[in-house]
Structure 1
Amino acid sequence: MNYRHSFHAGNSADVVKHSLLIALVRALQQKPSALTLIDTHAGCGLYDLGGEQAQRTGEAAQGVLRAFADANPLLDEYRAAVRAVNVGADPHLYPGSPQFLAQLLRPQDLLILNEKHPEDAVALRSAMRGSPAAVHERDAYELWLAMLPTRTPRGVVVVDPPYEQTDERARITATLAAAHRKWAHGVTVIWYPLKDRVTHQQWKNKLRRLDIPKFLSVEHWLYDDDQPGIYNGAGLFIVNPPYAFMQALPPLLEALRAALAPDGHRGMIAANWLSD
């Protein structure tokens, strides 16, 4: 599956990913010590929802626009972060993960962004101008390991690849195993698209064999049954999620499910420990 950010900006997967990222970082920030936030596949940083690539898929209509039409206050901080890069009531621009993370920074926190695609890296530097982010243009998996352990005692690594390469999941699995050996207490967030349950289960089985404790799997299935050959949803693997995040997670997941369920489908979003 080729999942370039620009084609899918503001879709349901982005709403879930960014809502959970906000909740995760906020939970970690309940302690005053500094955080290092690392985004290994940062993309362009900012996306035009009226642009050719976003319009080609039209996925924002089933994502950010549904979230904006929903009244649940649990999505208020997500909506506020999107509004922060827009003028007017309706979102015309969509912030990528770097923008969400930059908005969450406290004075003591650090933000490290990486994007290997040269054109996207240029766009990323432009989008993040004026922020304290350090921007790299390196192989994502090399950078992931090179930045560990983080300079601050605590940190979060966000791994959000486009899944262009057939060995993407294998590289994630191998790098996560190495990263955990170097940085066992760190928080790692891995985003993934869902196409069918069988393929996803096979990957989960491989990840389970890494024997990483406190390994959470969040899955958001849009449809009540698999829709063959199309994107069926997305989710996050989270290593070492903090207690405060886990306490806030159930109502937030239900708010997201209700806001994003396609017409005629209830949808499903659930969090389970992979290590169980």
Structure 2
Amino acid sequence: MNYRHSFHAGNSADVVKHSLLIELVRALQQKPGALTLIDTHAGCGLYDLGGDDAQRTGEAVQGVVRAFADRNPLLDDYRAAVQTVNVAGEPHLYPGSPRFLARLLRPQDALILNEKHPEDAYTLRGVMRDTSAAVHERDAYEFWLAMLPPRTARGVVVVDPPYEQTDERARITATLAAAHRKWAHGVSVIWYPLKDRTVHGRWKEQLRALGIPKFLNVEHWLYDHDQPGIYNGAGLFIVNPPYAFTQALPPLLEALRAVLAPEGHRGEITCQWLRA
């Protein structure tokens, strides 16, 4: 499944992913120790919702536009982060994960970004020039392992590939296993699209077999029944989520489900631990 982000910026998956990223980093920041935030597939960093790619799919209408129309206070932090790259009113630009993460940085924290595509990396450097972020241009999976363990005791790795390659899930599984051996207490967040429940079920079993003790799985299914051959939602695998984050999840997930459910569907967001 090709998930080139300029076509999907601001969609329902972004709303869920970025809302949870904010909550996760804030939970880790309840302790004063420094964090290193690492993004392996950083993309361009900023997306034009009025551009040709985004307009071709129109997915932002069912995502960030809905989130802005809703007034649930649990989404205030998410809306405020999007608003920082817009002047007023309805969003016309959408920040990628690098901009969300940069906004969360404290003076003691560090942000390290990677984008393999040269043109996207060039754009990313321009988008992030007003931040302290370091930008690399490397193979994402080599970069992931090379950054571990980070200089700080604690940190988060965000893995958000476009799933353009047929071996993407296999590379994630192998790299996560190696990463966990190098940095067993580190927090990792892996995003993925949901299209085929059977294919995804097999991948989940492969990840479960890694035997990682604290492995949380959050899945957002848009429709009440699978829609064959199309995008059905997205999920996150989260290794070593902090306790404060897991405690805050139930009301946040319910708020997201209610805001993002397509017309005529209730939708579902599940949250389960993967047990070996």
TM-score in terms of structure 1 length: 0.99
1:85 to 2:85 alignment? yes
CA distance in 2, matches of 1:58, 1:199: 27
1:179 to 2:179 alignment? yes
Structure 1, residues 85-108: CA drift from partner, whole Å, max 9, x if none? 101111000000000000000000
What residue number does 2:138 align with?
138
The AA in structure 2 aligned to 1:108 is Q
Shift of 1:138: 0.2
The AA in structure 2 aligned to 1:193 is P
User: 1:19-168 maps to which residues of 2 (within 5 A)?
Assistant: 19-168=19-168
CA RMSD of aligned residues (A): 0.5
CA distance in 2, matches of 1:275, 1:185: 17
The AA in structure 2 aligned to 1:42 is A
Aligned residues: 276
Structure 1, residues 186-213: CA drift from partner, whole Å, max 9, x if none? 0000000000211111100000000001
1:12 to 2:12 alignment? yes
Give the secondary structure class of the aligned counterpart of 1:42.
coil
Which structure 2 residue ranges, 5 or more long, are not aligned?
none
CA distance in 1, matches of 2:224, 2:199: 17
The AA in structure 1 aligned to 2:226 is D
The AA in structure 1 aligned to 2:162 is P
The AA in structure 2 aligned to 1:238 is I
Structure 1, residues 12-61: CA drift from partner, whole Å, max 9, x if none? 00000000000000000000000000000000000000000000100000
CA distance in 2, matches of 1:151, 1:5: 30
What residue number does 2:250 align with?
250
Structure 1, residues 66-93: CA drift from partner, whole Å, max 9, x if none? 1001111000000000000101111000
CA distance in 2, matches of 1:157, 1:219: 19
TM-score in terms of structure 2 length: 0.99
What residue number does 1:264 align with?
264
Which structure 1 residue ranges, 5 or more long, are not aligned?
none
Shift of 1:265: 0.2
% identity of equivalent residues: 83
The AA in structure 2 aligned to 1:119 is E
Shift of 1:262: 0.1
CA distance in 1, matches of 2:126, 2:202: 39
CA distance in 2, matches of 1:246, 1:132: 29
The AA in structure 2 aligned to 1:274 is L
Structure 1, residues 123-166: CA drift from partner, whole Å, max 9, x if none? 10111011000000000000000000011000000000000000
**After the TM superposition, which segments of 4 or more aligned residues of structure 1 sit over 4 Å from their partners?**
none
CA distance in 2, matches of 1:170, 1:194: 16
The AA in structure 1 aligned to 2:211 is D
CA distance in 1, matches of 2:126, 2:55: 22
Shift of 1:241: 0.2
